[in-house]
Amino acid sequence: MLVDATLNSLSILIRARPHIANKILNVILNFNPLKQANSPMTPKLRVMVKSMEKTTRSLLVHILKRFVCINPRAGEVLTDLGILKTL
């Protein structure tokens, strides 16, 4: 839940501090929710990973909608969204 809360706050941070937006975007694009699951996949852990994946995808969609005209990495976000949907 802490990861989801952090992901939810990143949108506000990107808007408030555009000079660090590329660094935040790099971290989001390199984030893999499955790496957080270092033990056997229990039903509870599976739900937590799915929640992180869904939050990450919605954050990337939000970033894409708001910053597509000013961010040259929009294509990379689209590619990453395609990858996240296959998890």
pTM: 0.67
Between 2-16 and 43-67, two packed helices, what is the crossing angle to 10 degrees?
Answer: 10
Model pLDDT, residue 87? 44
Closest CA to 63 of 32, 37, 26: 26
pLDDT tens per residue, range 9-57: 888 888 888 788 888 888 888 888 777 667 788 888 888 888 888 888 8
